[in-house]
Amino acid sequence: MLTMVEMNVRIPLDFDKEEAERLKASEKERFQELQRAGKWRHIWRVAGHYANVSIFDVVSNAELHDVLTSLPLYPFMEMKVTPLCRHPSSIHNDDR
């Protein structure tokens, strides 16, 4: 099940800088783990923002919820989740 997730990260300006850097490093580690597992298939940065558009490949909405809430920066994120399905005109076989 492919899902597009638009993420905006909003760390408060008065948040502890060292803790923010620790969380960002943990976020990168978790992101790369999910990429290697095939769960986080694509990520694009939104130019000029601390935001991204990502494509997840999960078996259920419950798995997507578990993946998203496992992100270290989750408490600071605003997300928009959009389910996707294969377009009948696509020539690619891996976009189920």
Query: What's the CATH number where 51 sits?
Result: 3.30.70.1060
Residue spans of the chain under pLDDT 70:
95-96
Give the containing element (helix H, strand E) for 86: none
Is residue 89 a part of any domain in this protein? no
pLDDT of residue 9: 97
pLDDT of residue 63: 98
Which two three-digit tokens encode residue 93?
């076989």
Q: Quote the number of domains for the chain.
A: 1
Is residue 93 a part of any domain in this protein? no
Is residue 58 a part of any domain in this protein? yes
Is residue 96 a part of any domain in this protein? no
Is residue 16 a part of any domain in this protein? yes
Is residue 48 a part of any domain in this protein? yes
pLDDT of residue 96: 61
pLDDT of residue 93: 76
What residue spans of 1-96 are helical by DSSP H? 17-36, 61-69
- For the chain, report the end-to-end CA distance as a whole number of angstroms: 7
Residue 72's domain comprises 2-83
